Structure 1
Amino acid sequence: MEQNETESVPLRAHPLALPTPTPVRWNRSTRARRVSLRIDPRAGEVVVTLPPRSSRRAGMALLNTHATWVKERLSSLAPAVPLLEGESVPLGGVPHVIRHDPTARGPAILWNGEIVVAGDKAFLTRRVGDFLRAEGKRRIGVLAAGHAAALGVRIRRITLKDTRSRWGSCAPDGTLAFSWRLVMAPDWVLDYVVAHEVAHLRELNHSDRFWAHVSRLTPHREAAQDWLRRHGPTLLRVG
C-alpha cells in the first residue's frame, strides 16, 4: 500500500509571487520516482509530490522554476461554486438555480429550471449534493443499459465516485465507475463517457477494435474529448 505524508503549507511562506495566498500540499509518496508538481483544480491547491528520499528543498526548487506556470494555472481556475441557495449549477449542461422551499415535496426536485430543496435550510448543501449524485446515477444507468444492449455485453454494477483525474473506469469484473460530476456536463458529453466505458466491456484496451465499438455507440467522441479538456476542470470547482 502506498504511504503518503501530506502537509499543507501557506504558499505565502515561500518566495513565490502569486495572486492570492494559496496552500501548497506536500505529498511524500513511496511510488514516486521524481519530484512532481500539479494543480488540484477541485481544492485550488498546488500539489508537490516528493519521492521518499527527496528533500523539501527540491520541491521548492521546482516551484520556483515553474512559478509563472503556477500563477497562470491558478488564475485560470473557474470560481468555486458552493451548493448554496441562489447559486447556479449546471445539469446536463443547462444552468439550474438552487432554491430553498421548506414546503416543497421530497428532499430536492427539478422544477422550472431550478433545483428546489425542501426541509431545513441547514441541510440544503447535503441534499443538493445527494440529488446530483442520484440524478447522475439515474442518467448514467439509462445510457449504460442502452449501450450495453447494443454491444451485447453485461454490466455487473455501476458506482459513482468523486474522482479528480478520471471521468470513468471499467474493472475486469464488469464494474463501471463514473465521476458523479458528469451529470453537470452536456448530455452528449455524458453519453460519450458512458459509451467509452461500456465499450471496455468488449475490449479492455484502447485498440482499433475498441475505438470502433465507441464509434458504433456514439458520434460525439472528438467533440466530447475536447469539451472535457476545456471545461472539465470547471466541474471540479462545484461543491
Structure 2
Amino acid sequence: MTAPLSDGAGGTGETIHLAGREVPLRWRSSARARRVSLRIDPRGGGVVVTLPPRVGREAGLSLLRTHADWVVARIDTLPAPTPWQDGGQVLLDGRPHAIRHCPQGRRGVWIEDGIVLVSGEVPFLPRRLGAFLRREAGVRLGARVADLAAQSGLRPRRLTIKDTSSRWGSCNADGTVMLSWRLLMAPAEVQQYVIAHELAHLRHLNHGPDFWTLVATLTPHRRAAEAWLRRHGTALLRAA
C-alpha cells in the first residue's frame, strides 16, 4: 500500500539552491524507473530525485530547476516536525501521550497512566523512545496481524516491521508482509485497514475488483482510514 509520499530511503544526500533557498536533496537510482522523477521527502523536508539506469545527474538537475517553485511550495506545506522531548507528545493508537523524562528511572521506557516515561540522559531520549516504539509496534501490530489472519485464513509467511516513508505496508509474492512501525501512532481502525489491505494481497497481488471486494470483507474502515492517512500521515513521518 503506497502512501502519497516519497521513498527517501537509500541514495546519497546533499543540498541544492532552489528558488532562493537551500533544499536538502537525495539521489536515488532505480532499475525499475523509466523516467526521472521528483518526490518530496517528508522525513528530511527535502526532495528526492530518482534516476533510471544510464541516466546522469544532469537530467535530474534540469528537472529540479524546471520545477523549483513546485518543490519549494510542496516543502512549505509539510507539517512542522514534532520532536520527541520532555514535555512533548507522542501518539499511540491515535491517542496523544505526554513524554516525561525520568533521569533516575531504571526501566528504560515505559507507559504509566497515559504517560510515556523515558529514563537515562536527555540527549538519548529520542533514540530511546524511538527504539521503544519500534518494539511496541512489533508487539501491537503483530497481534493485530495474527488476529485478522486467524479470522480470515490469510496468513503471511513472515511479518517485518520497518521504518519507511513511502509505504505504510507491502506484501511480497513470497508471502512476506511489511508494515511501517509508524502505524503504531495511527488509530486502531487505520491499523486494521492497512493490515487488511496487505493480507488481501496474499490472495490478489493487484488492486482489481476482487482485491477490493476481499478488503471490504476484512474491514469496514477503508474510506475513513484512507482519509485519515491523507490528512495525518505526513505528520507521523515528521515525528522524531
The residue number in structure 2 matching 1:37 is 38
Structure 1 length as normaliser, TM-score?
A: 0.85
In structure 2, C-alpha distance between the alignment counterparts of 1:171 and 1:7, rounded to whole Å: 26
Deviation at 1:34, TM superposition (A): 2.2
Amino acid in structure 1 at the alignment position of 2:19: A
1:22 is displaced (CA, Å) by: 1.6
In the TM superposition, residue 53 of structure 1 has moved relative to its aligned partner by 4.6
Q: Secondary structure of the equivalent of 1:213?
A: helix
How many Å separate the matches in 1 of 2:30 and 2:205? 28
Q: Deviations over 1:181-203 (max 9, x none)?
A: 11111111111101111222333
The 3-state SS of whatever aligns with 2:178 is: strand
| Larger RCO (alpha carbons 8 Å, 6+ apart) | 2
RMSD over equivalenced CA pairs, Å: 2.3
Q: What stretches of structure 1 of length at least 5 have no aligned partner?
A: none
- Counterpart mapping for 1:158-237 below 5 A: 158-237=159-238
Report the Cα distance in structure 2 between the residues aligned to 1:6 and 1:157, rounded to whole angstroms: 27
AA aligned to 1:17 is A
TM-aligned CA deviation for residue 105 of structure 1? 5.1
Counterpart-to-counterpart distance in 1, 2:202 and 2:32: 29
Per-residue deviation, 1:204: 3.0
1:36–1:201: structure 2 CA closer, same or farther, 3 Å change rule?
Answer: closer
Distance in 2 (CA, whole Å) between partners of 1:174 and 1:6 is 27
Aligned to 2:59: 58
Aligned mate of 1:17, from 6, 19, 22 = 19
Question: Contact 2:29–2:53 at 8 Å: present in 1 too?
Answer: yes
Give the match for residue 144 of structure 1: 145
Q: Which runs of 5+ in 2 are unaligned?
A: 1-9
**TM-score, scaled relative to structure 2:** 0.85
Question: How many residues were matched structurally?
Answer: 231
Contact 2:24–2:44 (8 Å) recurs in 1: no
Q: Percent identity?
A: 54
Distance 1:215 1:33, change over 3 A: closer
Residues 138, 48 of structure 1: alpha-carbon distance in 2 compared, 3 angstrom cutoff: same
**Secondary structure of 2:233's partner?**
helix
What CA deviation, in whole Å up to 9, does each residue of 1:138-191 have, x standing for no partner? 221221122111212333332100112111112233322100011111111111
CA distance in 1, matches of 2:180, 2:156: 17
Deviations 1:24-75 (A, max 9, x none): 2234555443222111111111122334554544333322322221121100
Contact 2:87 2:99 in 1 (8 A): yes
Residues 201/21 of structure 1: CA separation in 2 closer, same or farther (3 Å cut): same
Q: Provide the secondary structure at the position in 1 that maps to 2:238.
A: coil
Comparing 211-220 with 177-186, greater Cα deviation is found at 211-220
Which of 1 and 2 has greater Rg? 1
Output aligned runs, 1:44-83, within 5 Å.
Answer: 44-83=45-84
Paired residue secondary structure (2:133): helix
